[in-house]
Amino acid sequence: MLASRTPVSLHHRIVAGGQRRRCIGGSERKPQGRHFTQALESLWRHSPRILPRPAAAAATGGDAKSSWQTPVVLENAAFEEYYKVQQIVHKEEWDAFMSVLRKPLPATFRINACCQFYKDICSKLENDFRRYLESEVSCEYGEDAIRPLPWYPGNLAWHLNFSRKELRKNQALESFHEFLKHESEVGNITRQEAVSMVPPLFLNVQPDHHILDMCASPGSKTFQLLEMIHQSKEPGLLPGALVMANDLYVQRCDLLIHNTKRMCTANLIVTNHEAQNFPDCSLAKDYSEAYKDTCKPQGLEFDRILCDVPCSGDGTIRKGHEMWRKWNSGMGNQLHLLQVNIAMRGIALLKVGGRMVYSTCSMNPVENEAVVAELLRRSGNSVELLDVSSELPELVRRPGLSTWKVQDRGCWFQTHDDVPHDKKNVVLPSMFTSSNGTEGSHTVRGDVEVNIDDRSSLRNCNIEETSKNNHDMDGLPINTNKKFDCTSNILNSKFPLHRCMRIVPHDQNSGAFFIAVLHKLSPLNGCQIQGTKIQHPLAKGITAQPQKEPESETRLYKTSLTRQQNIVSKVVDSAEVLESSRAESGDSMRLQKQSRWKGVDPVLFFKDEVVIKSIISFFGIKESFPLRGHLVTRSTDNARRIYYVSKSVKNILELNTEVGEQLKIVSLGIKMFESHRSKDCSSCAYRLSYEGLSLLLPYISKRILYASPLDFHRLLQYRSINFAYFVDARFGEEAASLMPGCCVVVLLEGHKHVDSICKDPSTVAIVCWRGKGTMNVMVSPPDRKDLLERMAYRFGLEACTEGD
């Protein structure tokens, strides 16, 4: 995958008094000025202090760690009070709900159905590991220690009855743990929380869709979307779809690139933008002109958008104990406006007829139903909330809430009128069920609301059957059960929020998640589009400052992800975002020879005809493979690496060039060719990359050798073999007769005919270098290990390798 990174060196020094200072250096990134000073002061203020150990622990040389560490308490009175009032579960379920929250989260993973060895992995799981685990750990973890998730299509997702921590520490699970680590490293499986797999499934992705993942890092859902578009393609052809994955922070983009590069796809673009200000690359002068010319694209529009927004993350409370200590209701309030603005920007970028999934890993209605209601208010009749109760019928889900209250610093409010004036800039009208906003133009279409006391019995019901519940269409409850005193007299939302989905942990032993599926019926008008980037439409007289939102996002953005990030990198990234926003002013929209974005290399189409012709001639690449116009590089001088992009990505790049590089592209495409400095007198200055081999192999007609399983295995095992030492003497002679340079060695299995083997998607092949007297394998150690294990599984050959 083509990526551009800015090097940053971070030096840490502990000084007297227990204070920690950060010296930040690096020739390419030197953030200065007021914004950086504020960010650095914030870092010092929130940095952990070096606490002295008790004397008893110090006397034992540090071995008495457990004697001075405070035990983790899985209690938070404010958490329990808040969600009891919100009635997210029925009163009789509360103890079961809290009991599950205090248990470790079971590990889950998903198989990549597009990987070459998909069938081998499924067979190994079913026939080897499932039987082994049932016999070895069934007493400890139950009979179904490992089983497919019943609601995930094709039995591709698997549930384990033990947590990731238990998987690491239990010796009986060691071989299975090693299997999962290796398969994850090479991209054959993705280790992902079960509820996190749900939102992409409701997008209903089709083969030609353009998909935007607005807040994509760490990339498990992006990878899932890439699997979907590649599964839908015709054999031997690239899919017409593309996935654009975006994230605000550079470090998270690096993590996103790392996790998606295992897919080896030419249909991915990774961008680095604030999601709420994602560029539309519009060529029209104003919004009214954007729909005049239907023959030519006027800007970026997407068929499907995944809007998995930054959230407080209390739905992941089973994954880590830190959430129990730090949770407070203000976490959701701080992110509400940002979530609304991101989702509204998504609706603006969505095609008419397109579908957007809004989701969070939070249980807080202020981050969930309140946001969806505000989207419907702002959008009027342009957007509808879909009933998807018939999709994924085996997934246990509950209807969205129709009533909730808002809390700020321990004070409860039923309506925005109850909020003191000095808090109206924190507690916004859009957080309440009773907010009027722009909802007068929205049609509910005869739907009715769900009685809050019946939610637990409506987990998988058809939403349209809930018309028997007693609520009128003005949002005033006819039959209100005053289960908690503080819930009385709460107004219901006018919108069909029961169509939203809540996944609660004790239903299927998972985390918690919220999902809403939106369908765009007609274009937004100019005011609605422009309103996606401004303050709350009801908060008159209140000055909202969008530039301050990333500060909250830095602190709360994806709680599960922040454990992987060092707090220093977040400060540097915040400074870079501010620096980039300043660079957008003035005349920086003009296309320049260098990239518009500081610290990011430009994306350049590779047009050196001499090099392209030499590559085509050397490898015998057929004319039916569209090579010209699809090659890109990020080097302004001699290109060391050449990447290949699909037609859909190519069109986006051309549009981005035309609008002055509005998109900040940090990675795209699949590495196809690399320059070499070999002295073996090769007539071509470039060699093939193993990443792009599967895409190009059906179109190569020269420099291909066919090896028996035994010789193919020996090549992988020893990496370099003299021509005379191959078991098949004819193969050794063919290798010796080949001109020096890069070549492809194909595994010849069974009775497959040589003429058709390269067109078979299941064909196994590797990139090699024909040296002066040896054949040398050019495959990374993880991929080589993976291939050796497949050989061992299929042919019973030894799987060990020589030391790298």
Catalytic residues: 361
Burial of 14 (0-12, 13-18, 19+ CB in 10 A): exposed
CB neighbours of residue 804 within 10 Å: 8
Identify any residues that bridge with 641 across adjacent strands, giving them in sequence order.
674
The values of phi and psi at residue 29, to 5°, are -135, 105
Give the amino acid at 410: G
Do 652 and 242 touch, CB atoms closer than 8 A? Answer: yes
The closest of 534, 42, 558, 537 to 335, measured between CA atoms, is 558
Tokens (6 digits) for 134: 């049932």
Tokens (6 digits) for 537: 């439409």
Going 714 to 716 to 720 to 724, the CA torsion angle's sign is positive
At 336, is the secondary structure helix, strand, or coil?
helix
Q: Torsion over CA of 187, 190, 191 and 193, rounded to 10 degrees?
A: 160
Give the amino acid at 743: C
Alpha carbon 524 to its chain centroid, in Å, reads: 27
Distance, CA of 574 to CA of 251 (rounded, Å)? 11
Do 673 and 616 touch, CB atoms closer than 8 A? Answer: no
Query: CA 251, 248, 324 angle in degrees (round to 5)?
Result: 80
CB neighbours of residue 62 within 10 Å: 9
Distance, CA of 661 to CA of 281 (rounded, Å)? 8
Burial of 738 (0-12, 13-18, 19+ CB in 10 A): middle
Distance, CA of 251 to CA of 265 (rounded, Å)? 21
Task: Supply the DSSP string of 426-495, one letter for each residue.
Answer: TS-GGGSTT--TTGGG---TT--PPPGGGGGG-SS--GGGGGGSSB-TTS-BSS---SSGGGTTPPPPSS
350-360 and 406-408 beta bridge pairing: unpaired
Indicate the angle between helix axes 549-556 and 330-349, nearest 10 degrees. 110
